[in-house]
Structure 1
């Protein structure tokens, strides 16, 4: 384990497009991983031969690294637009051992630190002051500056590496699976409080957290409902319905202001929901002691009359893409837009009407892997 300086240098000017030699550059690489950075200004793709970083708006390649030997990268986590990345090997020919997190400095084009574990790493989350490493049933929290271990958390089986952290300056909020199926653990480091939330009866398969850590969205393996909770007191604030049929929900994302929530599933559809949640600061537990937690629904007055199916809210806007494909979704920086990334290399920018809703308009579409081949 090597210590690493705090990641303070800002990156990646948009002219910083670099390539490394690859023995198989004539063929399109296979994508192993896709993720947005913390504010959705960039996204990272891990492939079977390296990794690539892209700017979202305007869409363009920032840089790519294709390794000459091995190359498979199963996890790439960015830290805003900083030169430090966290990498984990994967695929048929991994670049690094699957049980290591490599801290990559792109200014030096090399790894400057590593964290080793007894089992495979499923996921990593970065804050400016913390590195969070997610294994199958454990989560480790490290100080970024010296890689000192600060906390270990035991979780329910977590093959997807579910875990999210807040990103505003100040005390961290971390959410992850609890010790039981359907349970979420919310760690509030500022108040040193841990809250357990029974989010679903079935296994949690997807989660998202607002930048301040105040709101949590979760979806279960049924894939019909998404629930929004207050992380501090565990109260259910809203329930929205993706559809009537079972689906695999792949991605959840809050808008910057927490007014909207985007949801993608294997049905090839991305939905946008309006959230009716107060967007003020984190409330204290005592704020809710005088009454039951608010559950917001335009049909709540008929909750005792209508079946549960009708008491959850439906999306205000949606777009239909390719069924069966995995999509990662984030809100765009242009007003009323979402950015959608496909595991086939597709990039979509879609616009929705905040008043009329309905079908979204695809305003931009690229194949970012093909784009790369033409640039290099």
Structure 2
């Protein structure tokens, strides 16, 4: 998530592919932190950066400058080695780099009207995808090589999504997700699900990528709000959860498993069998948990679900009791860790476990309190 034109001290924030680490880019440089302990792992003061992407826990970074110095052009992508502190390779483009995504086999570079796909190891260009004007660099990427997809906007007037198979280098499908233009997207790490939000921000929709069909529709709220981030929970953990942050200042967590169980029961009922899905989107309960006033309204933020632990000895037809660890970065410079406890009746309670200033922390401060 980049924020190049903002007065906020954080210009960019992202988690690595398994959310074990996160990085923030500032006007002075960038910092890498351990998600579990909050420990500062690496710091580099070399100017303003609008993109800093990690490759899991390796020493490789893909970085793009904010253009405040001639040597840090927003049109130049640098592959940087944190161990040696030196650049490995540079890629120069005709226009600004708006987003970067990568895994162990593919490097994706998103420009305003083109997206380039490279081999990560050789940095050889494999394909170019022409796109509609994508001024915000909106994209989604699944880092798992077995289900590695890239999602890009396919319209400037409505929420049409192009899903591209970056391993086979071919379009996979198009999904007509919203009537309004897209504001945010995320793919689950295994490439199974795509979650989308439009500029209205009232509905979050989840699609099954393999069949390009809608699986879930969640109502975030009644009034429009800008969606800042969407993030699926860790792979291979139940229940399936989706986190969203918005300009309202609240954090929403949607429960896919609960919605699936409710849908199964509904389809077996007489009323459920005759009502169309569009009516169910209105009538169904929201299946989500809300952390109100996590940050001030209008402050850009980024949340991920770091861990989901199912409570032992619990079982229910609807929802397994669990404990969720959620991490939140506010672009004003603060990090928060919340613990969310959910019981078998989908009742929840939140507690703030940790909070610190990302801009002033050193390696001895950011430990769990």
| Normalised TM-score (structure 1) | 0.81
Deviation string, structure 1 residues 23-66 (Cα, Å, up to 9, x no partner)? xxxxxx92110111111111111111111101111111111101
Say whether the 8 Å CA contact 1:124–1:132 is kept in structure 2: yes
Matches of 2:146 and 2:195, distance apart in 1: 22
Give the secondary-structure state (helix, strand or coil) at the position aligned to 2:257. coil
TM-score (norm 2): 0.82
Corresponding position of 2:75:
99
Residues 112 and 246 of structure 1, relative CA distance in 2, 3 Å threshold: same
User: For the residues of structure 2 that align with 1:172 and 1:101, how far apart are their CA atoms?
Assistant: 22
Per the alignment, residue 91 of structure 2 pairs with 115
Q: Distance in 2 between matches of 1:278 and 1:167?
A: 26
Matched, 1:332 2:306: yes
Pairs within 5 Å for 1:1-376: 30-67=9-46, 71-90=47-66, 92-93=68-69, 95-170=71-146, 172-179=148-155, 181-189=158-166, 192-256=170-234, 257=237, 259-276=240-257, 296=263, 301=272, 303=275, 308-311=281-284, 313-321=286-294, 322-333=296-307, 335=309, 336-355=324-343, 356-372=346-362
Distance 1:298 1:242 in 2: 23
The alignment covers a number of residue pairs equal to 331
Alpha-carbon distance, 1:165 to partner: 2.0
Matches of 2:326 and 2:265, distance apart in 1:
25
SS state at 1:309 partner: helix
Greater CA drift, 246-255 or 178-187:
178-187
Task: Report the more deviating stretch, 244-253 or 363-372.
Answer: 363-372
Question: 8 Å contact 2:105–2:121 — kept in the other structure?
Answer: yes
| Unaligned residue ranges in structure 1 (runs of 5+) | 1-28, 280-293
**What secondary structure does 2:283 align onto?**
helix
Provide, for residues 237-272 of structure 1, a one-character-per-residue CA deviation record: whole Å limited to 9, x for no partner: 000111111000000010113701001001110011
Structure ranking higher in strand proportion: 2
Q: Cα distance, 1:168 vs. partner?
A: 2.1
Cα distance, 1:323 vs structure 2: 1.4
Alignment partner of 2:307: what SS? coil
Structure 1 CA distance for aligned equivalents of residues 287 and 259 of structure 2: 19
For structure 2, the residue ranges without an aligned partner over 5 or more in a row are 1-7, 310-323
Q: How large is the Cα RMSD of the aligned pairs?
A: 2.8
Q: Give 1:177 shift.
A: 1.3
d(CA) in 2 for partners of 1:80, 1:206:
23
1:235 and 1:97, CA in 2 relative to 1: closer, same or farther beyond 3 A? same
Aligned-pair CA distance for 1:372: 3.4
Residue 172 of structure 1: CA displacement? 2.2
Q: Which moved more, 1:81-90 or 1:184-193?
A: 184-193
Structure 1 residues 189 and 343: alpha-carbon distance in aligned structure 2, compared to 1, 3 A threshold: closer
Judged with a 3 Å threshold, the aligned counterparts in structure 2 of structure 1 residues 232 and 334 are, in CA distance, closer, same or farther, namely closer
Residues 269, 307 of structure 1: CA spacing in aligned structure 2 closer, same or farther, 3 A cutoff?
Answer: same
The answer on whether the counterparts of 2:76 and 2:92 sit within 8 Å (CA) in structure 1 is yes
Contact persistence 2:325–2:338 (CA under 8 A): yes
Q: Give, in whole Å, the separation in 2 of the partners of 1:156 and 1:108.
A: 39
Q: Secondary structure at the match of 1:324?
A: coil
| Contact 2:217–2:281, Cα closer than 8 Å, also in 1 | no
Distance in 2 between the 1:131 and 1:190 partners?
A: 11
- Aligned residue for 1:276, secondary structure, equals helix
